[in-house]
Amino acid sequence: MTAPRTRLRLRLRRLFRREDGSGTVLSLFFLTACVGMAGFAIDLQRAATLQVQLQAVADSAAHAAMIARSTQTETQAKATAVNIAKANLPVATFGTVLTAADVQFGSWNAVDRIFTPTTGSTEAVQVTLRRTAANSNPVKTFLMRFGGAKQLDMTRRAIMLGYDPDCLREGFVAQGLVDIQSNNTFKNGFCIHSNTVVKVSSGNFFETGVKVSMPDKSQVLMPNSGYSSSPGLQEALSSNRYDIRILSRITTIINGLTSGNALFIPSYITTTTPLVLAPSAVKKNSFTQGRIYSITCSGNQKMTIGSDYTLTKTVIVTNCPITFSNGAKIEDAVIATTNTDVKSIDGPNGIVLGKNDNCAAGGGTQVLTMGGMSFASGLEVYGAQLLAAKDITFSASALGVKGAAFVAGGTISTTSGVTMSYCAGAGMEQNFRMIYAKLVL
C-alpha cells in the first residue's frame, strides 16, 4: 500500500510543478482586466457624451426662454424653455430633465459672475437640466455597476444674458440704405447701421465713440474727398450685420396694445380697454390721459393730430394714415398704425416727438407703422423711438435730436446741419424692445 501511495504523491508533485498551460491562466486574467477597463471607458465616454448633450440642450432652452421673454410673460417663456428640452430630450427616454421651477429669470453680476433670481426680470435667465436620482432619471451604467456605481448624477446649467444691440437701443438702423446728408455732428455713443450700406456726404463730424456699421465697411459710400471730408468716420466704421427682429414684430406690438397685453402697455396707462373713436372726432380735447384709443378709417379717411395738440400719457392704435399738423407735440405717448402707405406717418413742420428734458426719465414717445414715415422739416426728437416697416425720411432742427431710436425696414434718409446727441437709453424706458441673448455661463 505504501508504494502505490508514494507513486501517487510523486505524480501529483510533478503535475503541480509543470508550467505548460500557465499562459492560458494569465491570459484569462488579462482578458478580464481589459474587459473591465473597456467597460469603464465605455461608461465614461457615454457619460461625457451625455454631459455635452445636456449642456447643448441647456444652452438652447436658455436662449429660447430669453428670446421669448420679449413677447411672452415669464410663465410662458419658462414653458417655451421646457418644451425645447422635451423636444430634444424626450421624457420617455430621458425622464423630465427640465421643469418650470428650474427656469429662473433674474439678474447677472458680470464682475462676481453671480446670478440672482428676480421675479419678473427680463435681464437674464438661468436654466438647469437634471439627470439625477433625486429627479428619478439618473444615468444608468453598464460595467461600472460591478464596481458599485450603478448610476450617475448629471446636472448642467446655462445662463443667458438679455441685451439690446447698441444701435437698436439708440441710433439709426435700416435694412436698406442709410443716407447721411452733410454738415451733421454725431456725438459720442450715437450709432448708425445699415444691413446694406451707409452713404455719408461731406462735412459730417463723428466724435470718438460713434459707431457706423454695415456688412462690409469698405463699401461705405462717400465723396471723392474720402475720409478727410468727414473727420472721425474712418475710426467709427466697422463691419457688422443685425437681425432686426423688431421689424417683424410691429404687428405683434400693435395687437398687444389693442388687446391690453401687459408686455406692451406703457406704465402710464391706467385702463387697458380701448375707447373707440371716429377719425372725424379727433379733436384737441378728445383724449383722456391713461387711456388707449382705437380709431378705424375707411376709404380715403385719415387721422389728423392738430397743431394745438400736446398729446400725453395716451396710446392711439389705428389703421389710418396719420398727419401731424405744424407744431404738434407728443410726450409720454404711443401712436401706432397698421397703414402700409409710404407716408402713413406724415408731418410737415415743427413736429416734436418726446419731451425736451435733457435725457431725464419719462417723456419719451413711440411711433410705429407698417408703412413709412416722412417729416418735412424742423422735426425735434427727444427720447423717441420710431419703428417703420418701410422708409423713414426726415429733416430736423439744428439741435433737435437727443435720444433717438429710428428703425426702418427700408431706408433712412436724414437731414443736414443737425447735432445728433446721445442719451445712453435714459428717458427711453418705455421703448419697445426685442431681447437678444448671449451666453455668459
**How many Cβ atoms are within 10 Å of 110's Cβ, its own excluded?**
9
Q: Hunting for cell 448610476 — which residue is that?
A: 151
Does 112 map to a domain? yes
- pTM (two decimals): 0.83
Q: Is residue 10 situated within a structural domain?
A: no
303 and 341 in a common domain: yes
Given this model, what pLDDT does residue 251 score?
94
Interatomic CA distance for residues 339 and 369, integer angstroms: 7
| Same structural domain, 146 and 216 | no
Q: Quick check: is 22 in a domain?
A: no
Look at residue 39 in the predicted model and tell me its pLDDT: 56
In a domain, 20, yes or no: no
* Structural domains of the chain, count: 2
224 shares its domain with 146 = no
Domain final residue pick, 124, 145, 163: 163
Q: What is the dihedral of CA 73, 290, 245, 212, to 10 degrees?
A: -130
Domain end among 128, 163, 198: 163
Q: Which three cell numbers stand for residue 437?
A: 441673448
Does 199 share its domain with 295? yes
Q: Are residues 131 and 234 in the same domain?
A: no
For residue 334, being part of any structural domain is answered with yes
User: Quick one: pLDDT at residue 399?
Assistant: 65
122-150 burial: b if 16+ Cβ within 10 Å, else e = bbbbbbbbbbbeebebbbebebbeeeeee
- Domain residues for 418? 166-434
Beta bridge partners of 174: 194, 408
Residue 7 lies in a domain: no
In single-letter form, the type of residue at position 83 comes to: N
Q: Which residues of the chain have pLDDT under 50?
A: 31
Task: Give the type of residue at 35.
Answer: V
- Please indicate, yes or no, whether residues 309 and 403 belong to a single structural domain of this protein: yes
In a domain, 278, yes or no: yes
Host H or E run for residue 44: helix 22-68
- Per-residue pLDDT, 26: 52
Answer yes or no: do 234 and 287 share one domain. yes
Q: Is residue 23 part of a domain?
A: no
Same domain flag for 142 and 181: no
Choosing from 163, 189, 210, the residue where a domain stops is: 163
Q: Tell me, yes or no, whether 274 and 395 share the same domain.
A: yes
Q: Which residues pair with 144 in a beta bridge?
A: none
Distances (CA, A) of 404 to 96, 117, 139, 190: 46, 32, 53, 9
348 and 259, same structural domain? yes
236 & 283 share domain: yes
Strand 310-318 relative to strand 291-295, pairing: parallel
pLDDT of residue 236: 97
Same domain, 353 and 385: yes
